[in-house]
Structures are given as structure tokens and as C-alpha cells.
Amino acid sequence: MELRGATVLVTGATGGIGRALAEGFAGRGAAVVLSGRRAEALEPLAERLGGRAVVADLAERGAAERLLDEAGPVDVLVANAALPASGLLADYTLEQVDRVLDVNLRTPIVMAKLAGERMADRGRGHLVFIASLSGKTASGHASLYNATKFGMRGFALALREDMRPHGVGVSTVFPGFIRDAGMFADAGVTLPRGVGTRSPRDVAKATVRAVERNAAEVDVAPLALRIGAQLGGVAPVLSAAVQRRAGGQDIAEGLAEGQRGKR
């Protein structure tokens, strides 16, 4: 897809990865519409990139519909907004469970339905879902997060087939551990030696490339983590054992504690 002159809506644009996504698409000549909960962070970014800001809390029912109405016709939807959901399911209230499911899974589905119908009518467009390698391999202390990201992957792959005859592309991006900004960086967890990271800019570059090439899936992680994700898909019990031996539970517990206040 040609991005120059296209209108790109990025949700979760006030986070570090969201900012990098906005900058990446603006750098390709797209007109960006940026959404987030914090106007004080969103509006200066939109002004700097020559785009528009639409403040929205996607945890609220009806917010996704209102956002799309206010954004107007978009050529590319980047569903990036998400809540952290590490930790034991027993530690979550039912209200917190609903909130995570709404933001991480229901809202992207609703936005894809509404925006995708409009794109199909025009015969062009692209839907992008920013997921996680947690959507390819499960890990302890992350059952709720895994559920939303596994669900997003299955939804996107099926939707890609449904939208193909209408000229609308669908891509899913799977970041691993992202340094400098985002959920992992905010939690302040130290990784074991040898476990590599990628940057928000790497995520943005991969996402832009996915849209331009209509790639179904793109992983943004070092080779070892990508191999680990593949292992998790074909041998989940073995993958769980490997993760335990590599200190995966310590990482998961650290993420859960560092993200507790954002549930």
C-alpha cells in the first residue's frame, strides 16, 4: 500500500511504541490521526507531526465507535492501544478482567469491523494489530494477557482471508521485549544475560513495512526469542519447561508487579 497521502489512525499513541508508530507513518508521508487518553501528551505530538489528536478512553463502551466517527475516513487503522495483564488470574478482580478484555481484544475487533467495512466499500485499506510474542507462545503468570494476544492473532489471520477479496490488507505485528518504552520497559524488569531486546523504532519500521508489503505477520525480536515463539507453538509443554529453567517465572513475576498499577 502507498502510504504517502494516506490517512493513518494510531491508537495508544501516547505510549512510547505509539509515538514511534506515529512518527514512522508520518515519516512516510501519511496524515496521522492520533488517539490516546492523555490530551497533554497527545496534542503536542499531533501538532509536531502535522496530524490530528482525538482523545479517547477505549476502556469505555462506545468509545471506539465515537473515535472512528471523529477520525473520519481512514486508509490504515493501527490498533496499538493495550493494557498490561501480567500476573496470576486469581489476583485480578472481575472488573479488571473485563477491562483488559475490552481494551486488548474487544475494542480492536469493533474498530476492525467498523473501519474494515468502510475500507471494503472503497476497495482499499489496511488493518494492523500490534500484538506480542505472547500471542504465539504461552507463559506462566500471563494467562489473561496470553488470552487476549492469542485471540488477536486468530482473529487477524481469519479476517485477512475475509478481507482479501475486498482489497483490504490485514497484518499483525509481534514485538518481544521492547526497551526504552512500553509495558516491559515501564516495569523495570532485568532480563537474563543473552535475552535481547528491540526498540520502539524497530516496531514502527516493521509495522510500516508490513503495511507497504501486506505482510500477514511480522515478529520484532532477536532470533532466540523468535525461535522460542515457534517452539511454543509446536511444543508448548517443552516450551514451558525451557522457560522455567531460563528464569521465565522471575521475569513474569517482575512484570506483574511493575505493571500492577496499570490494570
| Catalytic site positions | 145
Kindly state the helix (H) or strand (E) to which residue 126 belongs, with its residue range: strand 125-130
Find the DSSP H helices in the chain. 16-27, 39-49, 63-71, 94-101, 107-122, 143-163, 183-187, 200-213, 223-234, 236-245, 248-259
* Neighbouring-strand partners of residue 169: 126
**Taking a C-beta distance cutoff of 8 angstroms, is the pair 173, 158 a contact?**
no
Q: Is 7 helix (H, G, I), strand (E, B) or coil?
A: strand
* Residue whose grid cell is 507497504: 212
**Using CA atoms, how far apart are residues 232 and 112, in angstroms rounded to an integer?**
28
Residue where the block lists cell 496534542: 43
